Amino acid sequence: MKKTSLHGFGLFTDVSHHRDYPAGAIIFQAGDYADKIYVVVKGELRFTLHGNEVDKLTAGDLFGEMGVVENRPRNGMVTAVTNCTLILIDRLRFAALIRQHPGFATRVMAIISMRLHRRTEVELKKRALERELAIGHKMQLSLLPQKTPQIPGWQFATHYQSAWQVGGDFYDFIPRADNPHELCLVIADVTGKGVPAALYMAVARTLIRAETGKSHSPAHVLQRVNELIINDNRSPLFLSALYAILDTQSGILRYASAGHDPPLCLRRESGTVDELPAKGYLLGAFRNVAFNEQETALAVGDVLLLYTDGVSEARDAEGRFFGEERLKTAVAAAGDCSAEEIVGGIVTAVTDFTGPVAQADDLTILVAKRVGIATESDTITLYELFR
């Protein structure tokens, strides 16, 4: 759309009303008294409303007129993106220009109309994108388990909260059809955010589920998934993952880490919260790597916590991290509670710490608590639980 010109009314030739502003200068901000109208001679400026960019202003654009005409405070902020030269028109001069040059008012109205049209198009595109993201959010949630396993002697609880409408974290419970006592636990975090991370998450989830049925080794599952991602990696994204196989009868947990945050385990007997050893390479980062397999046993009363770094790296207003020590304290404080209550206690501890600071990363938690010993008569085929 061709820009309407304000040339011909002496605005550009009378340099006494021209002002230079450096990049980064604030021309005005919300709440300021509106006493001038501005015309851009050269440079680029940004108009933001409630912290969101609404429009870019370049040579020939006029702005600030609504506050002057309606005699109200500014409702947004205009900032110089580059070094700029502006024409400043106060109320008296604006009124004089309209009286002396009837065509000036017509051109001003044309500029306002074009700008409103441009902003309307942007707003419509924004709303369409928001609708698509909302659909994507529902689809992503549908990939996560709709319920936690109900297994005698065990409690499971989860929490998932994306920083954006769609995110890159995921968790999963995968039953093994060939062993009624084994349950696979997965938690993962894709580097990056938004739609690309969400799509990558969906692919990674599919690969992990496919490899689960082919191997009894957590390390081998991660190795195969890494090979598949490397061989068809069309994205610069990577992901960390923690893959574990829990024997629900014996309490034995075998697990391997692909660069993920180490699991925490609350030992009921000692009351300590241990960080389980877990090292490994990010999936999709390197070829021909091996993953280490670890093993531990969960006794009655023990709590296993898997989480993503959105928990430990949550920040408060002063930029401090929530950190692993606060996380261990939260787990220990809620150790005698149910798995659901433990998850709730951790989430509360994080939100109390961050206060009004907006969530910067996806936050995902998976808790498994052993509450008893299942007998043969209690045995339920896990595969049937997920059918």
Contact 294, 282 (CB under 8 A): no
> The domain at 15-133 falls in which architecture?
Sandwich (2.60)
Contacts 24+ apart (CB under 8 A), 148-152: 148/173, 149/173, 149/175, 149/183, 149/382, 149/385, 149/386, 150/385, 151/183, 151/248, 151/374, 151/380, 151/382, 151/385, 152/372, 152/374, 152/378, 152/379, 152/380
Report the predicted TM-score, pTM, of the whole model to 2 decimal places.
Answer: 0.66
| CA angle centred on 254, ends 251 and 259, rounded to 5° | 135
Domain ranges of the chain: 15-133, 144-385
Contact 173, 184 (CB under 8 A): yes
Q: Which two tokens stand for residue 333?
A: 């404080």
pLDDT digits (tens, 9 = 90+) for 44-100: 999 998 888 888 888 888 888 878 777 888 888 999 999 999 989 888 888 787 777
273 to 33, 186, 252: CA distances (angstroms)? 57, 21, 18
Cβ-based neighbour number of residue 203 at 10 Å = 16
Q: Say how far apart CA 69 and CA 108 lie, in whole Å.
A: 12
Question: Does the pLDDT at position 380 exceed 60?
Answer: no
pLDDT digits (tens, 9 = 90+) for 282-324: 998 888 899 999 999 999 999 999 999 989 989 998 889 999 9
Q: What percent of the chain has pLDDT over 90?
A: 44
Q: Say how far apart CA 115 and CA 55 lie, in whole Å.
A: 9
Q: Say how far apart CA 15 and CA 38 lie, in whole Å.
A: 14
Write down the pLDDT at residue 65.
Answer: 80
β-bridge partners, 185: 173, 244
Contact 63, 41 (CB under 8 A): no
Q: Say how far apart CA 21 and CA 17 lie, in whole Å.
A: 13
Return the amino acid letter for 97.
Answer: L
Q: Say how far apart CA 155 and CA 47 lie, in whole Å.
A: 52
Contact 21, 109 (CB under 8 A): no
Q: Say how far apart CA 189 and CA 141 lie, in whole Å.
A: 15
Q: Which of 184, 171, 325, 199 is nearest to 260 (CA)?
A: 171
| CA angle centred on 301, ends 152 and 218, rounded to 5° | 70
Contact 189, 308 (CB under 8 A): yes
pLDDT band with cut points at 50, 70 and 90 for residue 118: low
β-bridge partners, 173: 185
Question: Does the pLDDT at position 332 exceed 70?
Answer: yes
Q: Say how far apart CA 257 and CA 261 lie, in whole Å.
A: 8
In this prediction, residues 353-374 reach a mean pLDDT of 88
pLDDT band with cut points at 50, 70 and 90 for residue 356: confident
Q: Say how far apart CA 307 and CA 257 lie, in whole Å.
A: 12
Q: Which two tokens stand for residue 99?
A: 């009286």
Q: Say how far apart CA 289 and CA 258 lie, in whole Å.
A: 10
Mean pLDDT of the chain: 84
144-385 topology per CATH: Phosphatase 2c; domain 1 (3.60.40)
Q: What percent of the chain has pLDDT over 70?
A: 81
